[in-house]
Amino acid sequence: MAAMDITPKTVVLGVTGGIGAYKACELARSLMRAGIRVRVVMTESATKFVTPVTFRALTREPVAVSLWDEPDAKIHHISLGQEADVMVIAPCTANVIAKLAHGRTDDLLTTTALATEAPLIVAPAMNVHMWRKEITQANVAALRARGVMFVEPESGELACGEVGEGRLAAVDSIVAAALEELGRARELEGVCVLVTAGGTREPIDPVRYIGNRSSGRTGFAIAEEAARRGADVTLVTGPATLADPFGVRTVRVETALQMRDAAEEAFDDADVVIASAAVADFRPAEASEGKIKKDDAPDTIELVPNPDILASLAERKGSRVLVGFAAESGDAAAGARAKLMAKHLDLVVANDITEPGLGFDSARNRVTLVTAQGDEELPEMDKRVLARVLLDRVTAIMKG
């Protein structure tokens, strides 16, 4: 298999207790031939099939098994997780898939998988009946929704003598998935990305405001994914309950005017701007300094337009890649196409806010990506998965 032209990176290879563990030896060697450093972490059960000494000889690296190994060394599950550019678990048993799905961490492998910020690739291997069970498929679906990538098991004769799905995927397929993800791992190195996220709050008085239901989840996921790919990321966000993404410079604001100022400050250094914020179109002409008593409430509140932040930035577009969002009711794609043309954007993400259970206040969404070349309808997906897809498209635009 030809190696990709990539800077040497680290794969943390997790090996669990199944007969397919012997193939993990070949997997480790194949990754090393592609110029990848391999660190192996095994479950205790895996050592019954292949010894740690074997992997140490193959990789010329220490092999981790127990949470209590080398007490004077770094905390293993943290240090291993930080070393990983990608984590691959192959073979992965039904038991470990269940642990990953439910956040259960009772050994070094699962603790490392929870602690790492690296992309996770899982190659399942088990009996056909175990693979087909509803609970296993539900666990796989839950992990997929969170952005875990799966290399599907193959169908054929299994170690138990039965025939069907469950055999560990071919080593070449697992290597290809790892190399593809490693290609993403640093593809935005040296690129400055500005992301706006969340809604804004336009004060009526110190207690009340005009706002919207935007949670900021999409923008936070985009910022985190861009940072994971090596970008220098600035996230300008309206009020949100989400924690600051790892490796991201986060600027928190309240109003549209504050968001405009923060975005303009970061814009000069930006190569890519992804404007996912749901900025209020209007604000009260005057905000009361004190709380307005109920008996003194005015019959009307005069509103004035807020600046169009993205339109203002687009006037200074230059060679930057600009991405907008269009939250519409009705024909969302048509609204996105109008925004694409009017603001000279490279891509607009359109979503219909009337779809129940999606978009605002949801971890999932269904969107259409609109460019000058046409529309791409995406299926319903977790917003973290959407962030991956969107940045794949942005990278393609940057490459021309």
Bridge partners, residue 325, by sequence = 349
Burial class of residue 202 in the structure, from the number of CB atoms within 10 Å of its CB (0-12 exposed, 13-18 middle, 19+ buried): buried
Catalytic residues: 160
Q: Within the chain, what is the greatest distance between any pair of CA atoms?
A: 81
Q: Within a 10 A sphere around the Cβ of 309, how many other Cβ atoms?
A: 24
Residues β-bridged to residue 382 = 364
Locate 95 and state its tokens.
Answer: 């038991």
Using omega within 30 degrees of 0 as the cis cutoff, is the peptide bond preceding 91 cis? Answer: yes
Strand partners, 209: 203
Strand partners, 274: 195, 323
Note whether 103 and 114 are within 8 A (CB): yes
- Which burial class, exposed, middle or buried, applies to 43 when counting CB atoms under 10 A from its CB (0-12, 13-18, 19+)? buried
Q: Is there a contact between 346 and 397 (Cβ–Cβ < 8 Å)?
A: yes
